[in-house]
Amino acid sequence: MRRKFALISILLLALIPLFGVSCSGQINASDYAPIFYFEAEETCYPIDASYHLDNSDYICVNEFLEETCFYDNTHGTINDEGVINHYQSVMSTYGYTVYYQTFSSETSEIIQYWMFYVFNKGELNQHEGDWEMVQIVFENDEPTGVAYSQHHSGQKATWSQVEKEGNHIKVYVARGSHANYLRSFSGKIGIASDIVGANGKVLKPSDYTLDDLEDETWLNFTGRWGEAPDTEASALEAEFLGQAGPNGPKYREDGAMWDGASWGNSLFPANDMMFMAEWFFYNFILIFIIITIVILALMAFRIYRRHKKYGLGPRIVSMLYIKGLNLHSIGNILCIVGIILAFIGLFNPWYFISYEASGSVITGTSFQTEGIVNLLSFDGLNGLHVTIPGASGPIPMGSFVLPFSVFIAIGLIFMIIATIGIPLSKKLGTKYIWRGVRLLIPFILILVLILAIGSIVPSMAGGGQASSYIQDIIDPLASSPFGGQSSTSFDVSGGTAQINLQWGLGLGAWLLLFAGIIILVSGILEIIANSQFFVTKIPLPGKALTRMPAQHPPLVQQQPPQQQAPQKQASPKEKSKVTFCTECGAELGDKATFCTECGKKLK
């Protein structure tokens, strides 16, 4: 009897991996396997890691990387589409694979799901091979939280914060980088500027194979799943820029991710406010279009009411009332000049930081940039772009792309539309002042950002000698944000390096500044003028019905005076029928065919 029981126990233990059950026997990995949502333009999906091993050279570099080994894909490099093209040609053969491992900590149990992608082609960097992971934490056999990997870090959330289909968590995978997000609208906040969406392929647990990592012979490979460098300089650059390819699951982030409990606890927690901010940025363009349409509709309604009540005047747009050398004419001329300068400023650079680096930073290797290279550029069309030096040229490190010029241009157009039919220079001046202040906001924000760099960037370096070097470079910029240049030398890696920095406000920022000031002055002049541009249909509140200078019609021959019968005094009913000229407001005769004050022909 005991022998039969022992035999049955052995058979059950042997069957455990087939059903994805954890070592504790309490959690089934397949019951919680994720559902993956990909962006429409994604080119790589989770695949059996054997693809990479089957199509790679095993290269060990002993000279400058202390015997670091690489699985280097033979079908391409980090600078082309070779690996992706080959993968897509054999993708159907390999299918989709997700790996898992389960383990227990002191207070909880954890299931980790690992995904291998043949190539990382993210917005921030690109490299061969890509290992990503999501994990679920259990307490008392109940799921309590999750952690999603994102680049070198990630995000954690409670079980209630996760979107699910039953017990299957939903994972939204960023295009190219394969960072994992909790929502389909996430990814836009942060330097990586990931593109996420649920508009592409969806992989449910039934669509992929779930394999136990403990069964894989390559699990203990300590090297990198990516391209091998050929020089010490390219090795350092690849490591710094994230182009070297990742270590395997057991060794990613120096093994921190494999120990899921401490890694997960160290991540930034999700919260509803962050979800709202991510949703807003993801849908910003759509929101802006809707707001623009609503504002235009409200402006059209107000203009219509103004037309019905007071009329719009002979020149329609009130900034076109320019006649003679007076305050309101000068104010309108200045406003038009300011608008022209602002539009020119929208198509020119707003701020730049450029550098020129040289020296012998790496043993036996000299480094020299080819002239001045942009480190940071900011303009109204392309937004913010950050690059850093690389052996093969500037390397993009991050961006914040918003068409600021479009928003400002639409604001200026709104201001012009809003001036339609305004009869008083004082009211027109108020609109000018508000628009002038808004044109100054980008200029002020740029200066605040540059001033903040002096404290933010060194703190991100984490202290030490590197932070000191960065502080020496940044201090001159923060102390003179309008523009300048500096040269900084320092010792590093047994050699010396020199960085020449140039920075300053671009032509676009200066033009926006001048435009804002000019429009502010134009508004002040309009308020001081306190004049009325045209006679309204009915008197304005607190204003008499003033008349424009008379424009008399051609003289006609006077008829000899004839004796007229005494006119009958008009009754109150007849008095109520008195009409006024819609052009100048003058009182009209009972059967008048034209206005004797302004000459307007009547129907």
| Interval 120-163: pLDDT, tens | 988 777 899 999 999 999 998 899 999 999 988 899 999 999 99
pLDDT at 51 over 70: yes
pLDDT at 393 over 70: no
CA distance 531 to 523: 13
pLDDT at 389 over 80: no
pLDDT for the residue numbered 507: 94
Of 425 and 549, which is predicted with more confidence? 425
- Nearest residue to 527 via CA among 435, 437, 427, 436: 427
pLDDT at 15 over 50: no
Across 223-233, average pLDDT: 85
The amino acid at 399: S
pLDDT for the residue numbered 14: 43
Kind of pairing, strands 349-362 and 373-379? antiparallel
Of 23 and 539, which is predicted with more confidence? 539
Percent of the chain having pLDDT more than 70?
Answer: 76
pLDDT at 41 over 80: yes
pLDDT for the residue numbered 47: 96
pLDDT for the residue numbered 455: 65
Question: CA triplet 73, 74, 78: central angle to 5 degrees?
Answer: 60
Which pLDDT band, with edges at 50, 70 and 90, does 302 fall under?
very high
pLDDT for the residue numbered 9: 44
Radius of gyration, alpha carbons of the chain: 36
Of 258 and 601, which is predicted with more confidence? 258
- Nearest residue to 427 via CA among 322, 293, 331: 331
pLDDT for the residue numbered 496: 73
| Interval 340-354: pLDDT, tens | 999 999 999 999 888
Of 134 and 486, which is predicted with more confidence? 134
pLDDT for the residue numbered 431: 95
Question: CA triplet 366, 372, 376: central angle to 5 degrees?
Answer: 110
| Interval 461-472: pLDDT, tens | 445 555 666 777
| Interval 541-600: pLDDT, tens | 766 544 444 444 444 445 555 555 455 555 544 444 567 666 666 677 666 776 666 666
Stretch (H or E) spanning 478: helix 464-479
pLDDT at 444 over 80: yes
Segments of 122-163 assigned E as strands: 126-139, 142-150, 153-158
Which pLDDT band, with edges at 50, 70 and 90, does 34 fall under?
very high
The amino acid at 61: V
Across 469-482, average pLDDT: 80
Of 434 and 487, which is predicted with more confidence? 434
| Interval 260-271: pLDDT, tens | 788 988 899 999
CA distance 336 to 333: 5
Across 509-518, average pLDDT: 95
Sole residue written with tokens 């029928």 = 577
Q: Mean pLDDT in the chain?
A: 82
3-state secondary structure of 550: coil
| Interval 190-203: pLDDT, tens | 666 789 999 999 99
- Nearest residue to 110 via CA among 255, 258, 236: 258
pLDDT for the residue numbered 591: 67
Of 392 and 527, which is predicted with more confidence? 527
Out of 233-242, 437-446, 554-563, least confident range: 554-563
Which pLDDT band, with edges at 50, 70 and 90, does 24 fall under?
very low
Tokens of 564: 């007229």
DSSP string, 218-230: GGG--SBSSPPPS
Which pLDDT band, with edges at 50, 70 and 90, does 448 fall under?
confident
Which pLDDT band, with edges at 50, 70 and 90, does 328 fall under?
very high
Of 535 and 541, which is predicted with more confidence? 535
| Interval 61-83: pLDDT, tens | 877 677 789 999 999 998 899 99
